[in-house]
Amino acid sequence: MASELALDGAVRSLQAVAAAPELYAALASSPAPALLAALLAHDNADIAAAALEVLRELTDGDEDAGAGDGDGGAALVASLAAAGALDAVVARLPGLDESVPEEAAAAADALAVLQNAVEVDPAAAASSLSTGPLLPWLLSRCAPPKKGAPPLTSVAGAASETLAALAQASPAAAAAAVAADGVDALLRGIGAYRSRDAADGDEKEHVANLFDALAALLLLPAGRASFVDAEGVELMLLLLKRRRAAAAGALRALDYGTTRSPAAASRLVAAGGLAPLFAAFMASSRAGRRSRRDDAEADERCVSILANVLDGLDPSTADDPTAVTAARGRVLAKFAEADCEKCDRLLELFARFDDRAAAAAASLAAAAAAGDEAAADPGLAAAEVADAGGAAADAAALVAGHAWASGGDAVRRRLLAGLHARVVPLASVRDRLAARRAAVEDGGDAAGAAADRRRLGALIACLGGEEATEEKEGTVKREGDPPVDGDTPAGKRARGE
C-alpha cells in the first residue's frame, strides 16, 4: 500500500511539468511516456486514474501552458503515441464503470487526452486512433439514452466531442467511422431531438458535436451513400418541418449530403423536401426569426442545397431520365410560383454574396499592397474570398443559371428585371459560372468532372456565352429571349418608374 501511495505521488508530481512547456521536449525524449503508458494498465484503478489526469494536463493546449505550446507539445504527443500511451488510454476506456463517479471522471479524462492529442498533432494521433476499438466505442455513446436514463451523461458529451474532433482531423478516421456504420449511429443520436430541443448548454453542445461529426463523414462519397440509405435526408427534412433548434444542423447536413449525390438530390424531392427547403430559403427575408449570423448561414446553406439538387438532377446521367426530369421540373417550377417571388429572393442573395466577396477581395488587395504576405498568397486569398461570400455567390449563380435555362419566359423576365433593379449585369452571373467551370478538377472522378463542365458550359451558352452581345446596362439579348428594354413594363419596373 505504501509503495502504491508513493507511486501515486510520483505520478502526480509530473503535473508540475504542465506549467513548464519548455520542458516538454525533454519529457518527450525521456522514459516518461512509456512509464505513463504502463501505468494506464495498472491493477490499481487510482494509479491509472492519476496517470490519466496527468496526461490530460500535459496534453491540454487550452491552458496557459500546455501541449499546444510550440513544437515541444507536438513532440510530446508524438512520443506518447509511439510509446503506446494513446493505445493504452483507449484500452482502459471499456473497463471503466461510468455509473461510478470516480470512474466516470477517469473516462472523461481519457477522452480529453485523446481529443487534446488530436488537436495538438492530428497526424500522430489519428494514425494511432483511426483503427482499433475506439471509434465503435465512441459511436456507441452517440446513441440516444435509454428510456428512464438521464438525457445526457458527461461521458456521452465528451465522447461526441472527441468523435467530432477525430473525424474532422483525419479522413482515415472518418472513413473508418463510415465503415463502422457511423452515419447510422449519428443519425440515431440526432433523431432523439426530432421531437424535443436540447435541455441545456451541455446537451446543445452534444447535438452540435453530433452534427460536426456527421458533416465530416458526409465529406466522403461512402458517407453520403450511407446518409441516403439510412434515411438521413428524411430525418433532416423532419427537423426542418418541425422547426426544431437542430434545424440549422439539418441544413448543414443536407448541404453536405446532397453534394455530388444524385441519389440524395432525388430523395430530397421525392420525400417532400421542397416545401421545407423553400420555406427556409424565404424565411430570413421576413422579420422575426434568428440572429443575423444564423440567417446568413441559413441563406448560404439553402442556396448551396438548391445548387446541389439541380446539379444532381441531371437526366443525361440518370438511370431513369424520365423520373429525374420530372423531379427537376418540380424544383424549377418553384421559381415561377407566387409571381416569381423566389427569383427576387435568389437575386437578393446573389447580390449580397457578391458584394461581400468583392469587399473581401478589395480588403485583401489593400493588405497585400501594404506588405501583408498572407493576403498576397493567391491560395489563401482565394479561400478567404470564397468564405466571405464567393462560394455562396457561385452557388446562387448556378441556381439562377438553371432557372434561366429551364424556367420559361416569366422567370427570365423576372430574373432580368431583378438584376437591373440591383444594377447587376447578367454577365456577372455568367462570369461566375465560367470561373466555376474553369475551377472544376477531376479529383479522381474524371467522368463526374467532365459532366460538371458540360453542364456549366450549357448554362453559360444559354446565358449568352461567346455568342451573346452585351446590351445597355449590361444585360444579354439572345434570339428568342423576352425583351427587357425601356419600352417594356419590366424595363420600367427595373428602373423604378
Residue type, 340: C
Which residues are CB-neighbours of 208 under 8 A, at least 6 positions away? 249
Q: Which of 56-60, 111-115, 442-446, 489-493 has the lowest mean pLDDT?
A: 489-493
Cell numbers standing for residue 118: 488530436
pLDDT at residue 494 tops 70: no
Q: Record the cell numbers describing residue 28, joined without a space.
A: 518527450
Q: How confident is the model at residue 267 (pLDDT cuts 50, 70, 90)?
A: very high
Identify the residue with better confidence: 465 or 251.
251
Predicted confidence (pLDDT) per residue in 282-298, tens digit: 986 554 445 566 689 99
Q: Express each pLDDT in 340-354 by its tens digit.
A: 999 999 999 999 999
Question: With bands split at pLDDT 50, 70 and 90, how would you rate the model's confidence at 120?
Answer: confident
- When mean pLDDT is compared over 214-228, 243-257, 361-375, 448-462, the highest value belongs to 214-228
Closest CA to 26 of 59, 75, 64: 75
Question: 3 versus 473: which is more confidently predicted?
Answer: 3
For residue 460 the three cell numbers come to 453559360
| Dist CA 120 CA 274 (whole Å) | 42
Tally of CB atoms within 10 A around 462: 18
Cβ pair 343, 418 in contact under 8 A: yes
279: pLDDT confidence band, cut at 50, 70 and 90? very high
What pLDDT score does 73 carry? 80
Question: pLDDT confidence of 496, banded at 50, 70, 90?
Answer: very low
User: CA-CA distance, 21 to 25, in Å (whole number)?
Assistant: 8
C-alpha dihedral (13, 15, 17, 21), degrees to nearest 10 = 180
Name the least confident of 22-31, 105-114, 346-355. 22-31
Res 285: pLDDT: 55
pLDDT of residue 465: 64
Q: What percent of the chain has pLDDT over 70?
A: 87
For position 473, what pLDDT does the model report? 35
Average pLDDT over residues 171-188: 95
Instruction: For residues 296-311, give the mean pLDDT.
Output: 96
Q: What are the residues whose beta carbons fall under 8 Å from the beta carbon of 201, sequence distance 6 or more?
A: none
Q: Given this model, what pLDDT does residue 291 score?
A: 54
| pLDDT classification of 480: cutoffs 50, 70, 90 | very low
Question: pLDDT digit string (tens) for 66-79?
Answer: 454 556 788 899 89
Q: DSSP letters of 251-271?
A: HHHHHHHHTT-HHHHHHHHHT
Q: Mean pLDDT over all residues of the chain? A: 86
Q: In the predicted model, is pLDDT for residue 139 greater than 70? A: yes
Q: What is the residue type of 345?
A: R
Helix axes 274-283 and 247-258, enclosed angle (nearest 10):
120
Place of cell 443536407: 254
Under a CB-based contact definition with an 8 Å cutoff, are residues 86 and 129 in contact? Answer: yes
Rounded Cα–Cα distance for residues 464 and 242 (Å): 42
